[in-house]
């Protein structure tokens, strides 16, 4: 995956789009959602402008997953959000969540 150049950032280059999502899955659906997340990660990492797309599971709970995404810019993020695999993921998984997905947009501190 491409690396973000500090020199680019320090000379006025656009900052990447950094997002974190927390998903809480209903009991009994955690492995199905896990499989869907793995597919989403695999396909998303192939997209233009994807710097990072990482998946984590909370160590002490099999029901919580965390996605950490870094996109080159807003256009890359928008393309990802509207991609077939992203919309299909949301359509498939939303009914298996205990609560709405918590989304946080972050800004790197430099």
Q: Could you report the per-residue pLDDT of 34-69, keeping only the tens digit for each?
A: 999 999 999 999 999 999 999 999 999 999 999 999
Give domain status of residue 76, yes or no: yes
Q: 67 with 58: CB under 8 angstroms?
A: no
The pLDDT assigned to 3 comes to: 54
Give domain status of residue 31, yes or no: yes
Give domain status of residue 92, yes or no: yes
Give domain status of residue 61, yes or no: yes
Domain that holds residue 88: 15-106
Q: Tell me how many domains the chain contains.
A: 1
CATH number at residue 51: 3.30.70.100
Residues 6+ apart with CB under 8 A from 57: 34, 64, 65, 66
């Amino acid at each position: 995956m491409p690396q973000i150049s500090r020199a680019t950032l320090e000379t006025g280059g656009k900052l990447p789009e950094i997002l974190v999502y927390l998903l809480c899955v209903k009991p009994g659906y955690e492995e199905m959602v896990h499989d869907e997340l793995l597919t989403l990660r695999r396909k998303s990492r192939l997209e233009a402008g994807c710097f990072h797309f990482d998946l984590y599971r909370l160590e002490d709970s099999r029901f919580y997953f965390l996605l950490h995404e870094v996109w080159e810019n807003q256009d890359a993020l928008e393309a990802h959000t509207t991609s077939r695999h992203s919309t299909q993921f949301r359509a498939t998984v939303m009914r298996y969540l205990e609560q709405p997905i918590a989304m946080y947009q972050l800004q790197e501190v430099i």
